[in-house]
Structures are given as structure tokens and as C-alpha cells.
Copies of this chain bind each other. A is one copy, B any other.
């Protein structure tokens, strides 16, 4: 970790209003402390049988949302997992360079020969790990009232016990991507019975951006709510960029190792080899990457169907492997060496995200034989990975018209044995460039409401250029809307309570609570303030907004109507 990024911008404290407080919830089985944001509300709201004067917010910001934390990118964030009981079956404990507090001289950990240490390994043995307890507490959001579902319509409420988490992982329905070499990680879970997650892609290309910018984007991505971050760098300094990102990341980091392998092969896909790729895997595994996208499902026999498509192969990794296969007239080495790959992943507890090399790149190519042909292979590879206790998720499309989204989810569950689904959108039209984050949020919300576990964000720059920090923000917020909408549809009681508090704050004209409960409080506070100011109002807490003004505010009038009372239907007026 030499040459620290120079222009690393430190995120401002999250608590502009002082209403948001970083709190830590202690585990009962392990010495874990789960960070959350406790929002102190301006008043007490009654929801069902409970009263709330504060609300615990799920928090992806790690130390960056803790105002007492002094950000020092050179030092990296604290290795929280080092204080937890760690499997004794790994080769080396971490060695800190005590004089500087740097992690630069850490010796990478690796599982001892003949042992298993993956979350799936322990789960299948019936053993609960600190990571499992951590995510159970995190998903419960400290809601003691969890079992009393706030959602309507008979949606079931499941309290997330550590044992429940263990069972989901044992059965392959959920994963905790947590490389033993990423001690800075605050574990999170990906699975359709849990909160829907979102991933933010960052990474430079040959045409733009430097390390500083990418680290900066990664840190801000966590602050804005990204649950995982993929570093898709392809330009120079791939290794260093990744090191900086990992040492400063409280969320799981994913990569597509074939990108770095291609750089090592001088950018010539046909020159790639298994050995080159294997060494790249180990290099990244030792750095602490938590999940790898591996395009092992695209086979020679799929290529003619891809040739017949309107937009061919739009996955970068997929097009690289297709070129290698055809140039060398050989089967995809990621497929032929998949068992060896799994043995590497197993040693570090790296999850595999089986890449959809043949995802449709246009509406016309959706749900075609190339796509579903590959999905079937991904299902076979899922079982192969599980045989090594390697955690698996499946990547999905892409471009899909709305009426064909459901088939994707159904086929994935069926062919891939309920392994978590992780989709890029889907985009529901091809003509939304410049606003593809909205396009993707539409398809993403729908597929997540049907069971997709994680949405890969798409930014407004998709199809046009490399996203900057503001694009990252727009991409994250739009997909958090989609994920949250899906949580509501699936009946997550914390999500329902969140919305109920917001609506009560809205009906009470409690503006600060409204800002703090929304997905982008800074933006809202600013927009509302500007609207009032431009209308010449100095009172920042009026019982109306500039949209309707005081005389036409329906909520204000509606309260007056309520206060007039009435039992015109013969029933009690307030129940």
C-alpha cells in the first residue's frame, strides 16, 4: 500500500442533523458488534401496538457512517473480523505492521490442507459462525417487535435467527461472501428470504479514471447504500486499485478475474490460459476478494445460437471466453477446470457468482435458447460448487421485456436449485440510454419482488460512458428504491414499518423525520429548502409544501375533515 491516493475525499459525517446516531448491537453467541444507524425521530409515532421514537436503519456505511471515525485511506478501515473467534484451520493469523498500523505486510491466510472453512461447510455441519450471527442481527434491524408483522395481506414475517441463517446457507438458498483475507468486512447475506441487496460496479477502464477516483467511488457507494461493490477495473494498476478498495471496504468486494488475466495476456483473448487465470485467482484470493464472477457456463455448443442473435454476446467476460474458445477450438477452460477453481475458492471462502455470459443484450434476444442453454449449465455448475462447500449465486439478465421477466425467475429457481439470483436490471427497453438507471430499476423491482436476491445497479451512464461519482449515487438510490419496493412486496416487516413511519411523518408535516427516513435525506432536505426559499418562505417547518401551497394541501384538509369527525357508515370514526 505505497503511494496513497492523493485526492481521496473523505465523506462528510453522516449526521448532518444529529438525528442519526451510529449504534452497535452486540451478539449473544459471539463478540460481534453490528453497526446500525439509529434515527431519533422528532416525535413518538404509534404503529400498531408499538410506539417508536427512534428507528434502527440498516447501514452499509461501516466506519464511514460513524462520525467518530477518522478516515485514513492509507491505513485502511479496522479489521473488525480479527477480533472474532476465527477458524483455527487457517494457515496464518494476520500480521499487522505494528509500527505504522498498516496492513501492507499482512500474510494472506489460507485454509490448512484437508480442512473446510467456508460458511457453507460450517452451515452443513450445523455450526453457527460469527458471520451468521452478525447477519441475523443485521437483518432483524434491532426490531424486538419483528414478529408482529406490520405488513398487510397476510404476508409472513420471519425473524432472522442465526439458526435460520445457517439453514438457508446450508441449503444453498443464501450466501455470505466473506473471504478470510477481508477482515475489514461487515458480513451481509444474499438470499431471497432476506432484504433485497444491491451491488454497485466501479472500476476504471483504459479510457478514464485513476485509483483515487475509484476508491472514492467505492467509499461513497457504501455510504449511499451499496451492499456489495464490484471492482471491474480493466486499465492499468488493477492490483493496486483493488488493494486500496479492499482495505477500505466494509462491504464484500466482487471482481471478474478474467479481466486481469486478459491484461496479463496483453489484451489478446486467444492467448489466455488456465495457468494464467489460476494464478490470477490466487492473487486476488490472497488480497481478500469476496466473490468472483466466473463465466464457466458458456460452452462451444452455445456459440452458434449467440451468432444468430441481434446483439451477440454483451457480457465482457463472455465475449472474451467465446473468442478464446473459437480461436483455440477448445472448450471453455473455466468449465473444464471448474473443480480446480472451486478448490481455490474453498480455501479462502470466496463465493462464486456464476456469470451469465449469454445474457440478452437487447429486448429481441431475451429468453432465447442461448440464454437458457447457459442457465442450464449454471445449474450443473452450482451442484459442482456445492460439492466443494463453495457458496454460489447465479447472475442474470440483462435486457428483458416486462412480460418475460417472470419466466427468468422461474427458470432460475428451477434450473439452479434455488441458489440466489443476482441480476443486472433487467432493462425493460433498449431505448432509455441516459436514464438506464430508471429502466433497470423498473425491471429490477419486478424481478426482486419475485425472488431475485440482489440487483446489480445500472447508472445513467450505461451504454454511454464510465460513471462518475454522481452517476454512482443515482445508480444506487434508484436501485435501493427497487430493492425496497421488492421488500415491501415480499412483506418484510422492517420495510413496512419504515414506510409507515414515513407516511405518519408526512401526515404530521414532520419534515425532518421525512428527510431522515427517505433514501436520500441530504437531497430531500436541500430540494425542500430551496423550494420554500424561492417562494419567499422562511419557516422551514410549515404544515404544507410549495407543491400545493397552504390552501390546497390535501393532507392539511384531510386532517381537518378527520377532526370534524363522523360516523356516516355507522362504524366508529377512528379505529
A binding-site residues for B, Cβ under 8 Å: 152-153, 205-208, 234-235, 259, 262, 267, 269, 300-308, 310-316, 318-320, 322-323, 326-327, 361-366, 401-404, 428-435, 437-439, 441-443, 445-446, 449, 460-467, 477-478, 481-482, 484-486, 488-490, 496, 498-500, 502-504, 506-507, 514, 517-520, 523-524, 527-528, 530-532, 534-537, 545-555, 557-562, 564-569, 571-575
Q: How far is the CA of A486 from the CA of B403 in the complex (A)?
A: 8
Chain B neighbourhood of A318, CB < 8 A:
554
Considering the complex, give the chain B residue whose CB is closest to the CB of A444. Answer: B442
Chain B neighbourhood of A571, CB < 8 A:
304
Do B518 and A320 have beta carbons less than 8 Å apart?
no
With contacts A259-B552, A551-B206 taken as known, whether A311 is within 8 angstroms of B503 at the C-beta atoms is: yes
Do A434 and B520 have beta carbons less than 8 Å apart?
yes
What are 17 contact pairs spanning A and B, CB under 8 A?
A: A205-B546, A206-B549, A206-B550, A305-B569, A322-B557, A326-B561, A362-B500, A402-B449, A402-B489, A430-B503, A432-B481, A434-B520, A438-B438, A438-B478, A443-B485, A463-B514, A465-B546
With contacts A502-B430, A503-B430, A552-B234 taken as known, whether A573 is within 8 angstroms of B307 at the C-beta atoms is: yes
Contact of A434 among B208, B463, B524, B554 (CB under 8 A): B524
Residue from the set A312, A486, A530, A565 with the largest chain B CB neighbour count within 10 Å: A312
Chain B neighbourhood of A499, CB < 8 A:
362-364, 429-431
Chain B neighbourhood of A532, CB < 8 A:
465
Contact of A531 among B306, B327, B428, B466 (CB under 8 A): B466
Do B481 and A554 have beta carbons less than 8 Å apart?
no
Do B312 and A562 have beta carbons less than 8 Å apart?
yes
With contacts A315-B554, A434-B524, A552-B316 taken as known, whether A466 is within 8 angstroms of B546 at the C-beta atoms is: yes
Considering the complex, give the chain B residue whose CB is closest to the CB of A567. Answer: B304
Do B310 and A504 have beta carbons less than 8 Å apart?
yes
Do A548 and B234 have beta carbons less than 8 Å apart?
yes
Do B361 and A503 have beta carbons less than 8 Å apart?
yes
Contact of A528 among B361, B464, B484, B568 (CB under 8 A): B464
Do A537 and B481 have beta carbons less than 8 Å apart?
no
With contacts A428-B488, A552-B234, A554-B316 taken as known, whether A575 is within 8 angstroms of B308 at the C-beta atoms is: yes
Do B552 and A205 have beta carbons less than 8 Å apart?
yes
Min Cβ gap A235→B in Å is 7
Min Cβ gap A502→B in Å is 5
With contacts A446-B402, A481-B432 taken as known, whether A307 is within 8 angstroms of B574 at the C-beta atoms is: yes
Q: How far is the CA of A528 from the CA of B433 in the complex (A)?
A: 10
Do B433 and A489 have beta carbons less than 8 Å apart?
no
With contacts A464-B524, A568-B303 taken as known, whether A477 is within 8 angstroms of B364 at the C-beta atoms is: no
Do A547 and B485 have beta carbons less than 8 Å apart?
no
Do B319 and A561 have beta carbons less than 8 Å apart?
yes
Do B503 and A364 have beta carbons less than 8 Å apart?
yes
Do A205 and B549 have beta carbons less than 8 Å apart?
yes
Chain B neighbourhood of A319, CB < 8 A:
554-555, 557-558, 561
